[in-house]
Amino acid sequence: MMTARAIKPGDVAMAHRVRAITSEGTVRSISQAFRPLRHARLAAQERLTNIEAKVQGLPIIEAQGLKRTFKARGAKGKLIEAVRGIDLVVREGEIVGFLGPNGAGKTTTLKMLCTLLEPTGGSATVVGADLRTDSVGVRRRIGYVSQAGSTSPEARAGEEIMSQAELYGISRSVAQKRGEALLAALDLGDVWDRPCGKLSGGQRRRLDIVMGLIHEPKLVFLDEPSTGLDPQSRANLWTHIRKLRDELGTTVFLTTHYMDEADSLSDRILIIDNGTIVAEGTPAELKKKVSGDAITLTLRTAGDAERSALIAAGLAGADTPVTEANVVRLHVSDGGSALPVLLKGLVDAGIEAIGVEVNRPTLDDVFLTLTGRSLRD
Ligand SMILES: Nc1ncnc2c1ncn2[C@@H]1O[C@H](COP(=O)(O)OP(=O)(O)OP(=O)(O)O)[C@@H](O)[C@H]1O
Ligand SMILES: [Mg+2]
């Protein structure tokens, strides 16, 4: 039976849809005509829910007080506290960057979360499996790409993929299909028969990632995925890592000591130093922790610089300006609003600036503020 329904102005798209379907002669009732629209609406709702899940996501890694000490060789009884009781949460669909200088404890943490290294303290759940009591469950559900890579130079790429798949009990036909699809997704379409040793560094790293994903894990750990690659290959790898998350929905937990990598690739960053997490947040949130923007003024003379420093000191949210010859440096809480005031002050005082720079804080500034050291040290 036909159901009467008034079409409101906002229903234009729906009305078109009804006519289109009617003209095809396939509609028997209005409610039937609206079924595809309902499906479309439900699909849109589902997409929204997925996006929300991506933003808010369920925890896929939860660790409390995770700790690992090593006995130092030679030094009797001396312990190295590589990871000192860290708490962390990674949510489904996130790309999380684990950033820290050499020796900070990144690989040790990753190896613990992948069950390759037993924690000396604390607990964790990884993709729903308990790290201590269900290590097989954890291994089945995760992918791990080691810092050193895992391909042998003589083996052909395809052979490496097939033997990795065999470890997970995947049949050869499924492995081949998945392997080829993953290679294509990572722009490695033509490497199946090529020896791994003959691939470029970037291609080999992407092959490592294909192998880490062959059993379709929901979560993949990448230890320093782009170390040793040239800037172009690194940027290309980032695009592929983002694609993994966007198209396959894989959660990515990666370590890096490159600030630009953490900054441009991660939804969220955890900064580790000396085995302790010293900061956590989105790249923008972390940069906000560093107070304000840096202003650098270059004047014609040292005398002008001294006078400019007095004017700059009066700006809202300014710290004490530092003058060096004809250059004045200071921090303000908001460079965008401070700069016009500063320039007007200089003009009013008859001082001509020959250079002005405003720099937003970088993740290195964050690290410097938190630890007193540069990440590059
Ligand atoms: N098997 C081990 N035996 C003894 N000490 C170790 C062992 N593995 C790691 N360490 C020490 O633990 C600390 C953390 O090492 P880890 O490899 O986790 O650092 P990382 O952050 O991954 O550094 P990198 O950026 O160089 O890869 C370092 O002081 C390291 O020397
Ligand atoms: Mg490491």
- Hey, which of 80, 102, 146 would you mutate to test ligand 1's pocket, going by the most ligand atoms within 8 Å of its Cβ? 80
Residue 179 has phi, psi (to 5 degrees) of -60, -45
> How far apart, in whole angstroms, are the C-alpha atoms of residue 106 and residue 122?
16
Q: What's the average model confidence in pLDDT over 130-157?
A: 91
What is the predicted pLDDT for the residue at 248? 85
In the predicted model, what is the mean pLDDT of residues 314-343? 90
267-276 mean pLDDT: 94
Ranges 25-34, 78-87, 141-150, 173-182: which has the least confidence: 25-34
Mean pLDDT of the chain: 83
The whole-number pLDDT of residue 46 equals: 53
- Asked whether the predicted pLDDT for residue 3 surpasses 80, the reply is no
Which one has a higher pLDDT value, 83 or 2? 83
Domain layout of the chain by residue ranges: 10-56, 59-287, 291-360
Instruction: Point out the least confidently predicted range of 46-50, 171-175, 229-233, 267-271.
Output: 46-50
- DSSP 3-state of 172: helix
Nearest ligand to the CA atom of 256: 1
Ligand number, closest to the Cα atom of 272: 1
Give the ligand whose atoms come closest to the C-alpha of residue 223.
2
pLDDT digits (tens, 9 = 90+) for 13-44: 333 232 223 233 333 333 343 344 445 555 55
**For residue 102, what pLDDT is reported?**
86
- Whose CA is closest to atom 26 on ligand 1? 102
CA of 245 to the centre of ligand 1 (A): 28
Confidence of residue 280 (pLDDT cuts 50, 70, 90): very high
Residue whose CB lies within 8 A of the most ligand 1 atoms, among 71, 108, 224, for a mutation test: 108
What ranges in the chain are assigned the alpha helix state H?
Answer: 12-23, 30-33, 35-56, 106-113, 135-141, 157-167, 172-185, 201-212, 231-243, 259-265, 283-289, 302-313, 335-348, 363-371
| Closest ligand to the CA of 100 | 1
**Category of 317 on φ-ψ map: left (φ > 0), alpha (ψ -120 to 50) or beta:** left
374 vs 137: CA distance, rounded Å: 39
Report which ligand 1 atom has the smallest distance to the Cα of 109: 18
Indicate which residue's Cα is closest to atom 19 of ligand 1. Answer: 103
Q: How confident is the model at residue 377 (pLDDT cuts 50, 70, 90)?
A: low
Which of the four CATH numbers 3.40.30.10, 3.30.70.980, 3.30.70.1230, 3.90.480.10 does domain 291-360 have?
3.30.70.980
pLDDT digits 0-9 by tens, 183-224: 988 888 899 999 999 999 889 989 999 999 899 899 999 999
Residue 324, classified by CB atoms within 10 Å of its CB into exposed (0-12), middle (13-18) or buried (19+), is: exposed
Q: Please name the CATH architecture into which domain 59-287 falls.
A: 3-Layer(aba) Sandwich (3.40)
Task: Please check the confidence at residue 4 and state whether its pLDDT lies above 80.
Answer: no
pLDDT for res 43: 55
- So what's the pLDDT on residue 14? 32
CA 104 to ligand 1 center in whole angstroms = 7
User: Which residues have CB less than 5 Å away from ligand 2 (the ion)?
Assistant: 106-107, 147
- Determine if the pTM surpasses 0.85: no
Q: What is residue 56's predicted lDDT score, i.e. its pLDDT?
A: 63
What sections of 214-301 are H helices per DSSP? 231-243, 259-265, 283-289
CA distance 17 to 296: 60
Determine the pLDDT at residue 291: 65
Contact yes or no for 132/109 (Cβ under 8 A): no
Which of 115, 102, 108 shows the shortest CA–CA distance to 70? 108
Q: Which atom of ligand 1 is nearest to the CA of 105?
A: 18
Q: 226 and 261 in contact (C-beta within 8 Å)?
A: yes
Report, as an integer, the average pLDDT of 285-299.
85
pLDDT above 80 (res 352): yes
CA separation, residue 245 to residues 54, 66, 249, 252, 331 (Å): 10, 26, 4, 7, 38
Residues enclosing ligand 1, CB less than 6 A? 70, 80, 82, 100, 102-108, 147, 257
Dist. CA 308–CA 305, nearest whole Å: 5
Burial of residue 177 (CB within 10 Å: 0-12, 13-18, 19+) is exposed
